[in-house]
Chains A and B, each alone.
Chain A
Amino acid sequence: MSLFNVFDIAGTAMTAQSVRMNVTASNMANADSVSSSTGQTYRARQPIFEAVFNDLVDNNISNGVRVTGVVESQSELRKEYQPAHPQADGEGYIYYPNVNPIEEMTNMISASRSYQNSVEVINASKQMLLQTLRIGQ
């Protein structure tokens, strides 16, 4: 029954989108985690999505989505001159993470909308299945 597969497919999407939400939350939480060197400073992370294909039936039909990994942003860190800061380096500089709060906000909204879409797909499929079970009654 292919309608049961819809639950699996929408489930993978919900998992992937919640990973994205977690990563966004981590980025926002660490937006002000300063440090005294470029190596120690937190860098913005992004999950990488990839379509899952069912090799047993047909190579071209997707069976959901998965997160293949989380990558760190390579854009430059913000360097600020604050000699009075307890974490300032020898020259009086501190380093801010390369988290862009606006980017993170849009990412969060997009992830939450996609998650809601999957929930609605599951609800609609559930209704369809329940009605199929009631057939002939």
Chain B
Amino acid sequence: MCSSKSYVGIDEMDNLFGIHADALKLRANRAELLAANIANADTPNFKARDIDFEAMLNQVANSANTYRTASIERTHQAHLEGNNTNKQGAEILYRTTLQPTLDGNTVDLHAERSAFMENSMQYQATLRFLNGKINGLKMAIRGEL
């Protein structure tokens, strides 16, 4: 596919990394959430939280606007915008526990730890994709094979 323009504009530079740039930010946010869950593993009445990564990434990928917020639909101008969203618009949900505890804490340490590790591996995979893109671009700039 050939662009009519002979140079790469800033808009196209933004598209260069595609979904991976958004994915990286989401992964970093999720790491923060999971770290907070692990930190509060012994706090009474603490409710573990997480984001539905797939749903959030789809939302980010499909939204055409630059703000990329997943807000509640407003059917009237006077309606207030929901603020249950983080910087990237990912909705933060509560985890449902497999085993209820006496102190009301819903952190399952094993699940949180494996989720943190999984998230960290996926973060590194996203970094690999980005590195591949950057290396390809560098090769094109230098005119190397």
Partner-B contacts on A (CB < 8 A) = 1-3, 5-6, 9-10, 12-13, 16-17, 20, 49-51, 57-58, 60-65, 110-111, 114, 117-118, 120-121, 124-125, 127-128, 131-132, 135-136
Contacts and interface: CB of A to CB of B under 8 A. Distances in A.
A134 to B, nearest CB: 8
Contacts of B92: 58, 60-61
Contacts of A127: 120, 124
B36 A61 contact: yes
A135 B137 CA distance: 13
B16 interface: no
A61 to B, nearest CB: 6
B106 to A, nearest CB: 12
Contacts of B29: 2
A131 to B, nearest CB: 5
A9 B116 CA distance: 14
Interface residues of B, number: 39
Given A58-B86, A61-B49, A61-B86, A13 B39 contact: yes
A13 B38 contact: yes
B35 interface: yes
Contacts of A60: 49, 84, 92
B28 A3 contact: yes
Contact of A117 (B44, B46, B85, B109): B109
B43 A118 contact: no
Contact of B31 (A64, A114, A128, A131): A128
Given A9-B36, A63-B36, A117-B109, A125 B127 contact: no
B123 A128 contact: yes
Contacts of A12: 39
A50 B40 CA distance: 8
B40 A117 contact: no
